Every structure is written in C-alpha cells, then in structure tokens.
Amino acid sequence: MLTDIITAIVAFIPAMAANSLAVIFGGKYPIDGGGKIGGKRILGDGKTWSGLLGGVISATVLGILLSFVSESLYPSGVEGYIIIFSLSLGALLGDICSSFIKRRLGRSRGERTPLVDEYDFVAGALLLTIIVSPTWIMKTYIVDNNWIPLLMILILIPVLHRTTNIIGYRLGMKKEPW
C-alpha cells in the first residue's frame, strides 16, 4: 500500500517539475503575443514560450533520468518517455487553460485563485496522460481498483506545490508565494 502511494507520487515528479521549472525558464515571449479578447489579455505575461518549452523539455529530461534510477515507474523505452513527456506537457497545458479562464473572469496575472492554482497542472497532467496511456494511469493511480494512490496525489501534490512556491518566493524566483 505505502509503496503504491510512494510510486504514485514519485511518478508524478515530471508534472510538478514542469510547473516549477517553467518559473525558472519563464518570462520571455508571451504565448498570446500580447493579444486580447474583449480588452482582457488572452493568457497574460505569466504564460510564455520560454516557460512552456523550457519547462516541458527540462522536466522530460529529469523524468527520463528518474526512469533510469527507478526502473519500475514507467514502461521501458519510448513508451515510458512519451508518458513522461505527456505528464510534463499536460501540466503546463493545464496551467495555460487556467490562465485563460482566470483572464476571462477578469483576474489579473498572479492574482491568487484558490484551488484552481493548485489543481490546474494536476488535472492537465492526468487528463493528457490518461489519453496517451490509460493503462499506465490505471495501473499507477487506481491500483487494483484501489483509489487511495489517486486520492493521495490529489491531497499531497497541492501541498508540495505550495511548499515549493513558497521556497521559490523566498529565493526571489517567484513574485507570489502561490
């Protein structure tokens, strides 16, 4: 049981890493190019190509290294790399979708939106990856019809996310502690 929970969390590292690494690489070339819908930015200056590409590439590399260290996390070879890529890309696509919605609701960049800020990347990573490899998601997060690993992810990941954001904020890498 405990091993299943730990596996579920460790396997999710690419998604968490993509989200944090986007902050480090981010800031250049807004994805919406400054474009607006109804006077409001499409995505805002917090969603950039440098963050998206830098985050996805570095998190995928990190995930592949992780798969060498812990061989049972993902399927071997390309199949596993695709899952790792999907977790990284899905996380940042979820984050982009949530910025799109936040802008439509009139929230400015960086304004805190409880729950949405903590779950956007978790939902994005799980949704894209369930399309890419439903078998892997089922095997890793709903182990033998046991939903606890998935529930643990939903409880623990936002906590870890907040913690890394507070650290990023204290280190001066992030403008807000969320």
Which residues sit at the interface with ligand CTP, rule CB under 6 A?
22-23, 26-27, 44, 46-48, 50-52, 92, 95, 99, 102, 109-111, 174
Distance CA 37, CA 106 (A): 11
Distance CA 141, CA 169 (A): 31
Please report how close the Cβ of residue 92 comes to ligand CTP at its closest, in angstroms.
Answer: 5
Closest CB to ligand CTP among residues 7, 48: 48
Distance CA 82, CA 60 (A): 9
Of the CA atoms within 13 Å of residue 100, those in its CB half-sphere come to: 9
Please report how close the Cβ of residue 72 comes to ligand CTP at its closest, in angstroms.
Answer: 31
Distance CA 168, CA 166 (A): 5
Closest CB to ligand CTP among residues 49, 81: 49
Closest CB to ligand CTP among residues 44, 80: 44
Please report how close the Cβ of residue 110 comes to ligand CTP at its closest, in angstroms.
Answer: 4
Distance CA 153, CA 158 (A): 8
Please report how close the Cβ of residue 85 comes to ligand CTP at its closest, in angstroms.
Answer: 16
Closest CB to ligand CTP among residues 47, 67: 47
The alpha carbon of 63 is separated from its chain's Cα centroid by a whole number of angstroms, namely: 13
